[in-house]
Structure 1
Amino acid sequence: MNLTAPERTQSHPVRRRWFTGVAAVLSFALLTGCASMDAEEREERGEREEESSADVADSDAESGEDNSFGDESNTEAGGEYEAPQYMVRGEADAPNTVEVYLDYLCPHCATFSEGIESEIVAEFVDSGDAKIIYHDFIIIDPEGSTMLAVAARAAGLQDKYAEFHDLVLSEQSAISDSPDGITVDLLVDYADEAGVADLDAFAAEVSGMQLQAEVDASSAAASDAGIAGTPTVIVNGEPVADLSFESISALLESE
């Protein structure tokens, strides 16, 4: 299977700068991947990120509580965003790193997940030779894509990120065609199937603002770093233009 991918950027954590040669990768990649939103949509997303961050701060101030999740996820000064540990698949000290930028409603991401990504997991992640770090990059539907990304993180807080990730991507068509749209109840059903234990806590996280702020921060960092579409894959800091298992495995085996 061969998928061409959108523009790529650097390794985890994401920093707000451009890679040399990124424009060349972009012109090739946008032929088949899911392209990022236009300037107006990015502006709207930026406004939503500011609003959600403010809402989280107001909520914390009113309750007197700190609703952050320790060192699991953060947006540091200077524009550095670090994915939470539960979005790392495999051993943290694995010698190779594969980064995947995705939108849960991007059809190419679903194809990649069920095909190439599953091969990478079986061949390199399960053996301890590589880890995968996932990054949310919302480009399809600011509401629906964000809800799914938030739900995946909510599952991750109960150590079920990978299970939820795989499940909802495999069920993407059914989710997209759901007559009631993407609702909390629908996400709870998928969380239950993925093995999430505390569904009430899951629903509360999905309905809250903290994880949405984290998703917005991830998307903003990816956009500022030059990511232009999904799926985007980076292996040990090298953007992958030819999204095939052969190309990715060659990069992993060369280390």
Structure 2
Amino acid sequence: MRRFFLLSIFVLAACAAPVAPEPTATATPPPTRVPTSTPTTAQSAPTTTGYFPELPRGRTAEGYQYLGNPDAPVTIMVYSDFLCTSCAIHTLDVEPRLIEEFVVPGQAKIVYRHLLQLGERSELLAEASECAADHGKFWELRRELYARYNQLYFNTRETVIDLAAGLGIPRDAFTACLDAHTYRAQVQADYAAAMAEGVYARPVFRIGNETMVGSQRLEAFAQVIERAAQR
């Protein structure tokens, strides 16, 4: 009886002992995708500390913003809207190379013209860019707006104020400029002048006596600029 009792305890202890789990195949996690560029949001820091800050900048006699040597022999007149996809593509991709090749050496200057073809938001953003010019940041804010053109259909005012503040523009002064519509008459007059000049698409580029419509390759600009320089 005693032997049977001891045998029962041994069997129960064996059944209660922990059993090591069987090894299982380890799944290899998929490789982490490295983004090709850092996502940006309206509240993120500006992607540039200056947009070709070494170049002269200012207003033409008509009040249009220019970048480059004001006495450059060739003028690249840009008609553009801050909510325009093709305009953004040109500004972010082609324009920096265009500046490096033709504006930095002094062969050409860029003059920016406001189109207000996409409603009240276009007008607000055009006014905002001119308010930024009061602080020497027209070209910087312009680039930041184009970098986020598809985010500007909602909370437009708050977004542009945040972007301006991120560029070091005093928030109160910038907001006061927007509230006073300091540059509304100017941007509206610019748009009216563009319409009178026959500009109905976007973007449009006038170089010499030639007109280019839509985003273009750098090579196309080079050919037109070279022809304009020879006239």
TM-score, normalising length from structure 2?
Answer: 0.68
Listed as ranges, the matches of 1:92-171 within 5 Å are 92-140=70-118, 142-171=119-148
Larger Rg belongs to: 2
Give the gaps of 5 or more residues in structure 1.
1-70, 75-81
Contact in 1 for aligned 2:145/2:160 (Cα 8 Å): no
Matched residue of 2:206: which SS? strand
Change (3 A) 1:253 1:156: same
- 210, 221, 239: which is aligned to 2:211? 239
Contact in 2 for aligned 1:138/1:219 (Cα 8 Å): yes
Shift of 1:162: 0.6
Contact in 1 for aligned 2:127/2:181 (Cα 8 Å): no
Matched residue of 1:233: which SS? strand
Give the gaps of 5 or more residues in structure 2.
1-57
**Which position in structure 2 is the counterpart of 1:83?**
63
Contact in 2 for aligned 1:83/1:135 (Cα 8 Å): no
Shift of 1:195: 3.5
Listed as ranges, the matches of 1:6-17 within 5 Å are none
- 156, 173, 181: which is aligned to 1:182? 156
**Which position in structure 2 is the counterpart of 1:195?**
168
2: CA distance, partners of 1:118 / 1:100: 14
Query: 1:204-253, CA deviations, whole angstroms, 9 ceiling, x for partnerless residues?
Result: 11111330111110111111111011100011232125732111111222
Change (3 A) 1:207 1:73: farther
1: CA distance, partners of 2:68 / 2:60: 17
Query: 1:41-81, CA deviations, whole angstroms, 9 ceiling, x for partnerless residues?
Result: xxxxxxxxxxxxxxxxxxxxxxxxxxxxxx9578xxxxxxx
Matched residue of 1:230: which SS? coil
Matched residue of 1:159: which SS? coil
Contact in 1 for aligned 2:127/2:182 (Cα 8 Å): no
Shift of 1:129: 1.7
Matched residue of 1:210: which SS? coil
Shift of 1:117: 1.5
Runs of 4+ in 1 over 3 A off after TM superposition: 71-74
Q: Which has the higher contact order (CA 8 A, sep 6+)?
A: 1
